[in-house]
Chain A
Amino acid sequence: MQYLWRTPGSRTAPEEASPIGPPPLEIRGLTVAYHRRPVLWNVDYAAPSGGLIAVVGPNGAGKSTLIKACLGLVPIVSGTVEVFGRPIARQRRLIGYVPQRESVDWDFPVSALDVVAMGRYGKIGWFRPVTRAHKEAALHALERVGMADFAKRQIGQLSGGQQQRVFLARALAQEAQLYFMDEPFAGVDAATERAVLQVLRDLDAAGRTVICVHHDLQTVSDYFDHALLLNTRVVAQGPVGRVMTPDLLSRTYGGRPMPAPAAAEAS
């Protein structure tokens, strides 16, 4: 018995992604407001199938809100979000989520392996225990981020970067088709940055779609294939080479002087 609930018709198996099927993520007319002040305003976006997509924009541009609205974690004023052509409530098994590190209590009495195994809960379903096979899958996910040696460690005793890698391993253990990641590179050490990048490339190679809130303009073009420039509404979207231009970036960041990543790349 899977964790599918709320939607009456949800017992049908979710569709597998196919290259010619509907886009992994399609947002139409999404508006989210706090009181009467829009945080996201008339956002339309269709994510290309497969590939690494960076969501870029200044602080308060609604990047995290965009991800949370896609996941159904914040109430929306208007608009629709579809994942592989269906409402998100029916497609939960296809979605992986890496929240910001501060979103959980790191003092919680669980080990790194426990946290990664939580990514498998969607596959395990009601009443069944976490079996050996699931634990091995979780351990394998920890190995892929170079954290296998810390499997038994209580999560509070890990460094910030290690905690980030545990979250990433958990997303891997979910074996999803579409991943949402909220600033996986924020405040991490060099080793973690490499591990995160490697995971992103592995996922890309496996044909998964990853949508990542990213704050470092210098690395967008190196790490990602596509970018979504967001400042409350969509400023531009497309392959990084086309949208990471000084003109579009300065429009996204409200005309403030920006470091020019294109120039940095050229040098």
Chain B
Amino acid sequence: MIATTIEEALRILTFQSGFNSAVVVAGTAALGLAGGTVGTFLLLRRRALVSDALSHATLPGIAVAFLVGAALGLPERSLPLLLAGAVASGVVGLLTVQALSRFTRLTEDSAIGAVLSVFFGLGVVLLSVIQNLELGGQAGLKTFILGQTAAMAQGEAIAIGLLAAGAALAVALLFKELRVLAFDPGFAAVQGWPVGALDLVLMGLATFVTVIGLQTVGLILVVALLIIPPAAARFWTDRLPALTVAAAVIGALSGWLGATLSALLPKLPAGAVIVLVAGGFFLLSFLFAPARGLVAAALRQGRLRLSFAERRALTDLLDGRPVEGPLALWLRLRGHTRNGALTPAGQAAARAAARDRRLWERFLADYPALLPAHANWGVDPIDSVLPGDMVRLLEERSASS
């Protein structure tokens, strides 16, 4: 039983379980990829939640488009029409957020919250109108809210995949421009870059990803595709190209694994599973990524505090000042003291610490301009940070003064 499930999983993961599910999985992976790449720049522009307002604001557009379709006498719900409606009202919502936070004293978070809830409320009212009109084909409208991959037709999956790949490609082509925008928009504007237009392009790409993701993930959760992969990638690197690639990979993996899991196991809605997989990647990155992860940072900080406290205590002992509390115990455990007095090893360590401090002080006084080049000055033993001839120079100077 388990073996067959694993076999099945491998088949879907490697796109061998029938053309249809392979297309759906590939389309979803492409969507994740696009979300990660576009989302990276939203995150850096501190605009992550703007996409939440955007996605909620699509609902009234979808409802109006449905009503328009019914009025025109279209037989079934027409996906392009609905998505066009989604784009239109999403853009109106976006512009309202920008206008509110720019022209009134309201801050952006309030503007986002107000637009999100009011537009969604309007959408809900319009859905209740549609319900009352008893039109055909309205059952599909609710899938926009929570999403449904199972309902995705092959053609739709291919279209989504291609469009998503196009969005990712657009980011790759505009990488240089978007980098300037994300890094220093003020500088970019002074340099003559069309910052406003670039911002529009970025928000346009976000709208694009949101709308093509609506059907798969649903409008409540589609924002997760734009936020979680770049947020997770942020823990791995400080460099923008690497960050973009990492976010794209995490997004694509989330889409791929999520769609597979949802196809494999019963009662697992794809949108939610994709978000949970992405959340899993986030948690792993948050805790264990070596660059900015929690465990690594806590270890670094703890070691830093301990080494500082230890060296301070050693120099205190060397100068004849007593050391008490847990530090005294720590020094005894380390073999630096016995019966409150320094052991020979402790003597040596204390002298080394005192020398480090003296030489660092000299360095700080004589070459403050060089400090930025040594991020960990004053923390580590001076010999391990500065070149030998520099240390000798400092020793001479500190001996002569």
Contact = CB atoms under 8 A, between A and B. Distances in A.
Interface stretch (B135-143, B145-153, B177-185, B302-310): B302-310
B11 interface: no
Interface stretch (B159-167, B219-227, B260-268, B369-377): B369-377
A33 B369 CA distance: 18
Contact of A232 (B105, B304, B364, B379): B364
A79 to B, nearest CB: 8
A39 to B, nearest CB: 10
B365 A37 contact: no
Interface bracket on B: 20 to 34
Given A33-B379, A36-B375, A38-B379, A251 B312 contact: no
A259 interface: no
Interface in B294-338: 300, 304-305, 308-309, 312
A234 B305 CA distance: 20
A29 B323 CA distance: 13
Select the residue from B300, B305, B357 with max chain A CB neighbours within 10 A.
B305
Contacts of B121: none
Interface string A218-256: 000000000000011101000000000000000100110
A2 interface: no
Nearest to A61: B368
A41 B312 CA distance: 12
A31 interface: yes
A254 B369 CA distance: 7
Interface residues of A, number: 20
Nearest to A35: B375
A38 B308 CA distance: 11
Interface string B155-174: 00000000000000000000
A16 interface: no
B304 A33 contact: yes
A248 to B, nearest CB: 11
Contact of A251 (B305, B308, B365, B378): B365
Interface string A103-126: 000010000000000000000000
Contacts of A235: 365
B361 A233 contact: yes
Nearest to A41: B378
Interface string B87-128: 000000000000000000100000000000000000000000
Nearest to B357: A42
Contacts of A107: 105
Given A77-B308, A78-B308, A78-B309, A41 B364 contact: yes
Given A33-B379, A107-B105, A233-B361, 13 more contacts: A33-B304, A35-B300, A36-B375, A38-B377, A38-B378, A38-B379, A41-B378, A42-B357, A42-B361, A77-B308, A233-B364, A254-B368, A255-B368
7 contacts: A29-B312, A33-B304, A33-B379, A38-B379, A42-B312, A77-B308, A232-B368
Interface of B: 105, 300, 304-305, 308-309, 312, 357, 360-361, 364-365, 368-369, 371, 375-379
